[in-house]
Chains A and B, each alone.
Chain A
Amino acid sequence: MNMNRCARFLRKTIGLLLWVPIWVHAESATLRMAVLDDAPPMSYRDSQGRQTGFSHAIAEAVCEEMRVRCQFQVTTLSQVVDGLVNNRFDVAAMSLLGTPERRSKILFAEPYFRSFSLWFAQPGVPPGHGDVRVAVVDGSAQARYALQRQWRVVPVATNGQLGTVLKSGEAHAALMPMNTAMGLMADPDFQRLKLEPVVMHSPELGGDASFGINPRRSDLKTGVDEALARIKGNGRYDRINSQFLPFRVN
């Protein structure tokens, strides 16, 4: 009887050990994707609380093309670069402009769309005028631009909070990317502020926007780039574009 027990124990142990490599492989094939959840229409939560948006859908498509499981982790723009550097994330699935500071710390995938920035203020108030308090997203290229020019900035954590500080009067103006502006302009309360948009053509505020990549995972860049090229070629990118944005942004 003792022999039978030993045999059963050995069989179970061997069975469990056989599952270990599969479990380890599954863990190693999981990508930690950093996403925003308050930056409509790029990355936000729908009425059921599910994460969605242009960048989010592109990230999901990339994961499918790379045949890897992706774990989406919500973060803010001010924390995402450090999160990549400190190995908390593998990929930042959000539109990052390639500022020199970012390029010195993290890797960038090939661009997935092109953007520019808009200045919102009362009519006749030019960008950076006088004592105007300017709302910017903390950690963004727009915040960097405003701080370099010593504007009075009101930093907010998320793109969605830009409208809040403008509507509350905490800020008089805002410098934001075009897609955030599109989302805000759909808000009737924001429209009632009657802020006038001015297109900012400075190269520091526009151009190619890309996913960020963990500098320790340089092997991911090729896979992400190829996946992006495939979804651009097979039409999936255009479908996502039409689903979330009113015009072609690539």
Chain B
Amino acid sequence: MTRAMALHRLRISHAFALLVASFTVLFVAVAVLLWHDQQQAHVATDRLQQQTLPEIVRNRQVVRNLEKIRQEGDRFFALGSPQESQQALFVLRVVANHPSIREHAQAAALAQEVEHFLAQAHLHAQQNPHGLKPSLLAWHALSQRLSLLVDDVSVHGVKLASTDLERMSQSMQTARTALVVALVLVGAFLLLLTLMLRRFLIIPLQRIDRKLATLRVDQPAPAYPITRLEEIHSIEEATQRLHRSLQELEQARHQLETLAHFDAMTGLYNRHPFLERASIELQRAHRYAHPICVGMADLDHFKAVNDNHGHASGDVALRHFAGLMRDTLRQTDLVCRYGGEEFAFVCPESSLDEARAMAERLCQCFAAQAIELPDGTRLQATVSIGIASMAGHTLDQALSLADEALYQAKRTGRNRVVLAPA
């Protein structure tokens, strides 16, 4: 299953790469097509400027000079002076032999024909009494041919320009189509990319963000649906690892707190947290004028137990007494190992008599129960307890009073409860 999912994720990564590669290839192809069309348009423009327009200008000059030939021919046949006819014939000859006419094959041929015709007409007119009249009809035909050639040359220039413009138009049309295709491709790619990014990247990231925002130690580890992108899957796994780490940290913190607040051997409060809680209870009692008492307990002859039975036996005795305190005192009472074999306890909502009663019950129970030591022997131990009321005293004062009462109990024979003077 995991292998199949990994392969699936691999395919998604490849799909992104394939999409980008396909788009790149298509876009390059369209760009090349665009460049080619632009090149074609550039070639057509260049041809229009370098060849067609000069050709049109040349044609215009040919047209103008053909018109001049026709005008001079008309002037030749007009009823002017012989000098005027001679002048017209000369100008016609000059125009007909100019390079602008000679370069154009059709114009050159017709101009030479006209020149020859007029020279012959001039010769015949000098010998014929009717003058130029016999040649007039033929001249009209030649004049019409000149006009037709003028039209042909004019139209040829227009055709050249039209052809080039048509090519340019085709190139531009193709380029426009290619541009539209390119834009559609870019649009499609962006749309597809956006959809894929949204589906495979943005939505999973938003889901991860929501999971991270509500990530708590006391909640189950974040769960995700099947993810198709490897990187997203890694982030999801990282959030799950983060949750596990948080749980481990919380557990460690809890252990450290337990070590800091409770005595490892007896499981009772250590001195410092005990004093903090006792102070809070004392303030509350003072605020509401409720009774509250404090007691100090010390195992009798504990050094002898250690010396005679070993420290392990002493520890057993301490644990035994601690368990007895937990069983005998109320759940609302505070109990701590004050140091060594000395214990302290606070009894909220208890008068001095009530506290003494609980202390004496504790004292009697401890004395009545034999403690089984590791070496198999049974130990009979006792405890001395001093009780003091905390009303009207600070915590330190009350503890001192209880401690004083404890020593009083020790001095007066041990295994007893002594009340501090009120």
- Please choose the segment from A41-49, A69-77, A180-188, A217-225 that sits at the chain B interface, where 4 or more of its residues have CB less than 8 A away: A180-188
A114 touches B100 (CB 8 A): yes
Instruction: State A247–B86 Cα separation when bound (angstroms).
Output: 17
Size class of the contact patch on chain A: 20 to 34
> Which residues on the A side are within 8 Å of B60 (C-beta)?
248
- Is B216 an interface position by the 8 A CB rule? no
| Residue ID in chain A nearest B87 by CB atoms | A185
A191 touches B86 (CB 8 A): yes
- Is A118 an interface position by the 8 A CB rule? yes
A197 touches B90 (CB 8 A): yes
A246 touches B91 (CB 8 A): yes
Q: How far is the CB of B195 from chain A (nearest CB, A)?
A: 57
Instruction: State A38–B65 Cα separation when bound (angstroms).
Output: 26
Say whether, besides A116-B97, A178-B98, A197-B93, A248 and B64 are in contact (CB < 8 Å). yes
* Interface residue total, chain B, C-beta cutoff 8 A: 18
B94 touches A250 (CB 8 A): no
- Is A206 an interface position by the 8 A CB rule? yes
- Is B319 an interface position by the 8 A CB rule? no
- Is B273 an interface position by the 8 A CB rule? no
- Is A26 an interface position by the 8 A CB rule? no
- A200-216 vs B: 1/0 string, CB under 8 Å? 01000011000000000
Say whether, besides A182-B94, A185-B90, A191-B83, A246 and B68 are in contact (CB < 8 Å). yes
- A94-123 vs B: 1/0 string, CB under 8 Å? 000000000000000000001010100000
B94 touches A178 (CB 8 A): yes
> Which residues on the B side are within 8 Å of A191 (C-beta)?
83, 86-87
> Which residues on the B side are within 8 Å of A206 (C-beta)?
99
B87 touches A247 (CB 8 A): no
- Is B95 an interface position by the 8 A CB rule? yes
- Is A249 an interface position by the 8 A CB rule? yes
> Which residues on the B side are within 8 Å of A207 (C-beta)?
99
Identify A248's interface contact among B65, B87, B97, CB under 8 A. B65
- A236-250 vs B: 1/0 string, CB under 8 Å? 000000000011111
- B41-59 vs A: 1/0 string, CB under 8 Å? 0000000000000000100
| Residue ID in chain B nearest A179 by CB atoms | B94
B100 touches A181 (CB 8 A): no
Residue from the set B68, B91, B99 with the largest chain A CB neighbour count within 10 Å: B99
Interface of B (DSSP majority class): helix
> Which residues on the A side are within 8 Å of B95 (C-beta)?
246-247
Identify B65's interface contact among A118, A178, A186, A247, CB under 8 A. A247
- B140-154 vs A: 1/0 string, CB under 8 Å? 000000000000000
B93 touches A116 (CB 8 A): no
- Is B61 an interface position by the 8 A CB rule? yes
Instruction: State A185–B91 Cα separation when bound (angstroms).
Output: 9
> Which residues on the A side are within 8 Å of B99 (C-beta)?
114, 116, 206-207
- Is A10 an interface position by the 8 A CB rule? no
- B75-92 vs A: 1/0 string, CB under 8 Å? 000000001001100110
- Is A199 an interface position by the 8 A CB rule? yes
> Which residues on the B side are within 8 Å of A116 (C-beta)?
97-99
A247 touches B64 (CB 8 A): yes
> Which residues on the A side are within 8 Å of B100 (C-beta)?
114, 248-250
Instruction: State A40–B11 Cα separation when bound (angstroms).
Output: 90
Instruction: State A207–B97 Cα separation when bound (angstroms).
Output: 12
B91 touches A182 (CB 8 A): yes
| Residue ID in chain B nearest A178 by CB atoms | B94
Q: How far is the CB of A61 from chain B (nearest CB, A)?
A: 17
| Residue ID in chain A nearest B82 by CB atoms | A191
Instruction: State A250–B99 Cα separation when bound (angstroms).
Output: 9
In chain B, positions 100-125 with a C-beta closer than 8 Å to chain A are 100
Q: How far is the CB of B13 from chain A (nearest CB, A)?
A: 62
B94 touches A181 (CB 8 A): yes
Instruction: State A116–B96 Cα separation when bound (angstroms).
Output: 12
Residue from the set A114, A185, A206 with the largest chain B CB neighbour count within 10 Å: A185
Q: How far is the CB of B209 from chain A (nearest CB, A)?
A: 69
> Which residues on the A side are within 8 Å of B57 (C-beta)?
232
> Which residues on the A side are within 8 Å of B83 (C-beta)?
188, 191
> Which residues on the B side are within 8 Å of A118 (C-beta)?
94
Instruction: State A249–B61 Cα separation when bound (angstroms).
Output: 8
Q: How far is the CB of A187 from chain B (nearest CB, A)?
A: 10
Identify B98's interface contact among A188, A197, A247, CB under 8 A. A247
In chain A, positions 29-75 with a C-beta closer than 8 Å to chain B are none
Say whether, besides A182-B91, A191-B86, A247 and B68 are in contact (CB < 8 Å). yes
Instruction: State A199–B119 Cα separation when bound (angstroms).
Output: 14
| Residue ID in chain B nearest A201 by CB atoms | B97
A250 touches B61 (CB 8 A): yes
Q: How far is the CB of B24 from chain A (nearest CB, A)?
A: 46
> Which residues on the A side are within 8 Å of B91 (C-beta)?
182, 185, 246-247
> Which residues on the B side are within 8 Å of A186 (C-beta)?
87
Instruction: State A238–B61 Cα separation when bound (angstroms).
Output: 10
Instruction: State A114–B101 Cα separation when bound (angstroms).
Output: 11
> Which residues on the A side are within 8 Å of B93 (C-beta)?
197, 199
Instruction: State A246–B87 Cα separation when bound (angstroms).
Output: 12
Instruction: State A33–B93 Cα separation when bound (angstroms).
Output: 33
Instruction: State A114–B94 Cα separation when bound (angstroms).
Output: 12
Residue from the set A185, A207, A248, A249 with the largest chain B CB neighbour count within 10 Å: A248
Instruction: State A224–B253 Cα separation when bound (angstroms).
Output: 96
Instruction: State A197–B97 Cα separation when bound (angstroms).
Output: 12
Residue from the set B64, B95, B97, B98 with the largest chain A CB neighbour count within 10 Å: B98
Chain A residues in contact with chain B, CB under 8 A?
114, 116, 118, 178, 181-182, 185-186, 188, 191, 197, 199, 201, 206-207, 232, 246-250
Nearest 5 pairs between A and B by C-beta? Answer: A248-B61, A199-B97, A247-B68, A114-B99, A248-B64
Identify 13 residue pairs between A and B in the complex whose beta-carbon atoms are under 8 Å apart, listed by A's number.
A114-B98, A114-B100, A116-B97, A118-B94, A178-B98, A188-B83, A191-B86, A207-B99, A246-B91, A247-B65, A247-B68, A247-B91, A248-B61
* Other contacts beyond A197-B93, A247-B91: 9, CB < 8 A: A118-B94, A182-B91, A182-B94, A186-B87, A188-B83, A197-B90, A199-B93, A199-B94, A207-B99
